[in-house]
Structure 1
Amino acid sequence: MLLTTALAVSLNAAPTSAIADAAAAKDIATVKKLLKEGGDVNAAQGDGMTALHWAAINGDASLASMLLYAGANVGAKTRICGYTPLHLAAQVGNASVIAPLIAAGAPVAAATTTGATALMQASHAGSTEAVRMLIENGADANVKELANGQTALMFAAAADRVDVVKMLLARGADVAVTSRVEDFSALTMTNDADQNGVPRPAPAQGPGPIIPGVTRGFNYNELIGKHGGLAALHFAARQGAMSTVEVLIKGGANINQRGAGDQTTPVLVAAINGHFDVVNYLLDNGADPRPASEGGVTPLYAVINVQWQPRSFYPQPRAYLQQKTSYLDLMAKLLDKGADPNARTNRNTWFTQYNFDLLRTDDSGASPFWRAAYASDIAAMKLLVARGADPDIPTMKPAGGRDFQGGTRSGDANAAPARPALPVGGPGTPPLVAAAGAGYSEGFAGNAHRFAPTGMMAAVKYLVEEVGVDVNAEDEDGSTAVHNAASRGDNEMILYLVSKGADVTRVNRRGQTTVDMANGPVQ
């Protein structure tokens, strides 16, 4: 009986958030009634939202003023993420609420648990009036948040808030400062050490240099390598924010600034994301098309790569379909500006495959011509050959087979090689073998692989008849174009290749004949 009574008293005495609840529902009449009855203006809901928080996020300046007059705590923080009312007013860009909050002493420099300030949120929201108010009351335009080391200028640039970008630059925002760099390869090393019970290395030691395809295949984090280290111009270029790109360049941004992470330039990050119009603008304004990322990807490679990006299990950005600049015109312009048609990647391009390696190809060492051949893109191949591309450059043989996540392919682990293996880093897949259907013999590449509507057959004919490639060229496994055609059941291509001298008796290094491939791609 005593326990029941005590429980009842405890429940009855529990604080309520009636005023916050009414403010959340925009029920101003009830808020006024509860305040007159002596209700607690600072009573918070379960997540820490008070009535003043709700007035801020709802943009109700009159309610905010009423609550402040009634004694609302202007610096109250939510339980989750530590948002103050000023953060929420800035988040929706409401200057009319920000004004009374600042007048009541709101801490302008207060940060959330991730280090985000009201200025960052107002910048992302695009409110120049809110940004002006915050800066004039002491907000620092160059402070960085904690999660990614981004500044207010980066928030504005990524959201294409042109007027805010102009204001921040005029108020002293540093256009050259970069976001935090995170080394994913070091993260992998640390995680592996933790799982295996090995002492973690001291942070100063780092993971050591990554040598593509030496002792084993890369896992995914190692393929990514270093992430971040981007300036505001990188963010604007990544998002295709043309107007912001223009403003940043006029404001002194280095058009060729390399990211402190993977050495990506603004023109490269724009190309990777399919923003061809931004790439075109950057080239017109002096961008150098030659620098490659840490993984060896150049803007020229990125353009042909994104044009034929694979089908995916889930939606992906499709900006390349919305550009005024065609990919072929852009490739020609990149070459005109000095792009190397034979530049090669040095590891598998981690951002190409959205769907867990259905393609079953590794583009380590790939050239732009190889990528065009893999996409059966005759127009791109002709353009590249005319500008000096070598049509015989293959990919490089990676360590661990074609499984870019560090494993080996089906059948590799237990099968004795029928022929001596090629060394890691040696010749991989030649363009002809890629064009005939690289990866199809490994599984279900056909569900993801995208290629030009003219088809594989036309591309193979072009390579054999016009370019003059070796019809019996082999990949690192010893498979030829006939092997790949057989694995796809492409009788027309098989007959064509045979008519041009292809050897159907070739046995690859896994002991598979062309007939084996015709019996079924996955052995």
Structure 2
Amino acid sequence: MPRASRNVGLGLVVAAMLTGLVHGAGPAPVADAAMARNREAVKALLKSGADVNAAQGDGMTALHWAARAGDLELAQMLLYAGANVKATTRLGAYTPLMMAADQGHAPVIAALLAGGADAKAANSLGTTPLMLASASGNPQAVTTIVENGGELAAREKTFGQTPLMFAASNNRVEAVKALIKAGADLEATSKVNNVGNLSGPQQEFLAQASGSGNQAGGNGTGRSGQVVATGSGQAPPNAQGQAQGGGGGGRGGFGGRPGVERPFFYNELIGYQGGHTALILAARSGYADVVKTLVAAGAGVNHISAGDRTSAMLIAAINGHFDLARWLLDQGADPNAASENGVTALYASLNVTWAPRALYPQPRAFNQQQITYLDFMKALLAKGADPNARLTKKVWYSEYNFDLAGVDEVGATPFWRAAFAGDVPAMQLLIDHGADPNISTMKPAGRRPLGDVGAARESKDVSGLEPVPMGGPGIPPLQAAAGVGFGEGFAANSHIHSPAGFLPGIRFIVEQTGADVNAVDHEGNTALHHAAARGDVDSILYLVSKGADVKKVNREGQTVADMANGPVQRVQPWPEALMLLEKLGSKNSNKCVSC
């Protein structure tokens, strides 16, 4: 369209709008014109006597729209006409100042404050203009509000976060600097929330709403699990407690308690959240510049969150920000800091590197680092990190809330986690620094249902093996390396292991650590059982060559051949492995579940 024609068309549209607005086409014509950034229409409406404070359906006035757009001239026009600087929206109770602060429009902020706007006012969520300005990142907006009474220590209602936390968690370096200069408290912490403190009906509703994955440590779809809770639906007292030593305390404060009947929900495993400083929030997201700014200003690198007892370095490691975690380590961060579930930076670096396949996209910051996880582990070990630190509770985020493997890692060490991934370089590194390759996980309370339908397990132990008490040895590293979980759930759908395959890890543990190839886990499975469940002929032949007994029977009565013959739904038989095992002398009970 030629420019002249386009201008004529635009003029007609504007004229029509002006005509409609002047004659009151809507309940809030001034607000409608301001929303369209049409100053001439606003001016004409005001001259005709239109109400400058008339609000649209959601409570937005003309001044709200001018503030949101950062239109200083329009805002000044409205203020001159008597616009109410304290008007609030019907949804959220936002004032015009909050709208301007949210967008970081410093000149409009100054005009509104000069016109009587309240710098301390909060919306329905307790969010103040200073918090919004901090999140916007404009240091001038921050400074202007602070100089006019904005409170540095104010907290919003939901998480109890301060303006500094808003800036830090949004990677607003300049806003962080402005807040620090103004005197913001670097060690202020957010609210601590007990995520597990829900009623029984609330928890049951969550389980039904999710369909799967809401209960912890369970079968192939995560509908149920090893960790059990009281029949009332409430988490038992001291649910966030620690395990009792190396093998006697059971389920890290969850299992082994009277009256336990069902698995814990994920919210119960999470326990407490929050208590974060601005530094911890920035470290969680890997915002290096913000972290360095806060540390330079005096933020404590070893401040532990009051929620799950996590430090800045640890939360960076959990999320795969190895470069930042290494920097924090060099600033004096404690290499042995452990969260309330026992996760240390050593374990976390392995856990995020070998995180399972997720059912929906997940952050993969560890793929974008300058240093590798092994580099970070070396630095931790050089600083004295304990290679034998053990988990005290199932890690709720290990499988992104969908526990397809169904493996309970309570009691696991970094070496065990490396074995589970078949990570030979990591296992060697840990052994070189004193790792004990013989530490198993701890036996959980109860028995995990099988398959995706939560089938009950045979309660009668037909193996003749000595019973293992709760808290006793669970899964040895060799079984972890051999593929624990593949024959009891859907680990094959999610488990991530070394690209080199399973055999190198199995071979390393057998030949370098002297592991007993006939040792059993708490379910009575040998490494051969787990290799058979994956149909891994090479690993079967290797284990047999090292003396593995093909006639071993687990507590369920399953032979090694049975594990290769569709032991659970959707896990199909492995004909080649099955024929090999039968030839080697393992009995096929012909109990294929998936056939």
TM-score > 0.5, shorter chain as reference: yes
36-45 or 55-64: bigger deviation: 36-45
Distance change in 2, residues 1:519/1:206 (3 Å)? closer
Whether 2:71 is the aligned partner of 1:29: answer no
For residues 59 and 469 of structure 1, what CA distance do their matches in structure 2 show?
69
Residue 32 of structure 1 and its aligned partner are, at CA, apart by: 2.4
Q: Describe the superposition over 1:172-220 as per-residue Cα deviations: whole angstroms up to 9, x where unpaired.
A: 111111000011222356946999xx9999xxx9766641322344321
Partner residue, 2:416: 370
SS in 2 for 1:115: coil
Partner residue, 1:425: 471
Q: Describe the superposition over 1:109-149 as per-residue Cα deviations: whole angstroms up to 9, x where unpaired.
A: 01111111110111111110000100000111111111100
Distance change in 2, residues 1:274/1:402 (3 Å)? farther
> What pairs with 1:214-293 in structure 2 (closer than 5 Å)?
214-215=256-257, 216=260, 217-293=263-339
Q: Which 5+ residue runs of structure 1 have no aligned equivalent? A: 1-11
SS in 1 for 2:196: helix
Partner residue, 2:79: 68
Residue 399 of structure 1 and its aligned partner are, at CA, apart by: 1.9
Identity among equivalent positions (%) equals: 53
Letter in 2 for 1:386: D
Q: CA RMSD in A?
A: 2.5
Distance change in 2, residues 1:86/1:434 (3 Å)? same
Distance change in 2, residues 1:190/1:169 (3 Å)? farther
Whether 2:122 is the aligned partner of 1:111: answer yes
For residues 428 and 449 of structure 2, what CA distance do their matches in structure 1 show?
31
For residues 343 and 434 of structure 1, what CA distance do their matches in structure 2 show?
17
> What pairs with 1:173-192 in structure 2 (closer than 5 Å)?
173-187=184-198, 191=202
SS in 2 for 1:257: coil
Partner residue, 1:452: 498
Aligned mate of 1:93, from 77, 97, 104:
104
For residues 556 and 68 of structure 2, what CA distance do their matches in structure 1 show?
64
Distance change in 2, residues 1:188/1:307 (3 Å)? farther
Partner residue, 2:580: none
Partner residue, 1:147: 158
Aligned mate of 2:442, from 396, 401, 404:
396
For residues 477 and 517 of structure 2, what CA distance do their matches in structure 1 show?
11
SS in 1 for 2:428: helix
Distance change in 2, residues 1:337/1:402 (3 Å)? farther
Residue 459 of structure 1 and its aligned partner are, at CA, apart by: 1.0
For residues 360 and 193 of structure 1, what CA distance do their matches in structure 2 show?
20
Q: Is the 8 A contact 2:475 2:521 kept in 1?
A: yes
Residue 409 of structure 1 and its aligned partner are, at CA, apart by: 8.7
- The aligned length equals 505
Letter in 2 for 1:245: V
Letter in 2 for 1:31: V
Letter in 1 for 2:369: Q
Partner residue, 2:381: 335
419-428 or 179-188: bigger deviation: 419-428
Residue 26 of structure 1 and its aligned partner are, at CA, apart by: 2.2
Residue 56 of structure 1 and its aligned partner are, at CA, apart by: 1.2
Whether 2:140 is the aligned partner of 1:129: answer yes
Residue 517 of structure 1 and its aligned partner are, at CA, apart by: 1.0
Residue 17 of structure 1 and its aligned partner are, at CA, apart by: 2.2
Partner residue, 1:491: 537
Q: Is the 8 A contact 2:393 2:411 kept in 1?
A: yes
Partner residue, 2:485: 439
Q: Is the 8 A contact 2:313 2:328 kept in 1?
A: yes
For residues 49 and 24 of structure 2, what CA distance do their matches in structure 1 show?
16
Letter in 1 for 2:378: A
Q: Is the 8 A contact 2:309 2:340 kept in 1?
A: yes
Q: Describe the superposition over 1:298-347 as per-residue Cα deviations: whole angstroms up to 9, x where unpaired.
A: 11110111111111111111111111111101001101111100000011
For residues 193 and 364 of structure 1, what CA distance do their matches in structure 2 show?
25
For residues 124 and 93 of structure 2, what CA distance do their matches in structure 1 show?
6
For residues 505 and 428 of structure 2, what CA distance do their matches in structure 1 show?
11
Distance change in 2, residues 1:403/1:29 (3 Å)? farther
Q: Is the 8 A contact 2:531 2:539 kept in 1?
A: yes
Q: Which 5+ residue runs of structure 2 have no aligned equivalent? A: 1-22, 207-230, 242-252, 569-592
Distance change in 2, residues 1:318/1:59 (3 Å)? same
Q: Is the 8 A contact 2:240 2:340 kept in 1?
A: no
Q: Describe the superposition over 1:267-322 as per-residue Cα deviations: whole angstroms up to 9, x where unpaired.
A: 11110011101111111111111121111111111011111111111111111111
TM-score where L is the length of structure 1 = 0.91
For residues 390 and 199 of structure 1, what CA distance do their matches in structure 2 show?
40
Aligned mate of 1:165, from 176, 180, 192:
176
Partner residue, 2:523: 477
Distance change in 2, residues 1:97/1:13 (3 Å)? closer
Whether 2:166 is the aligned partner of 1:120: answer no
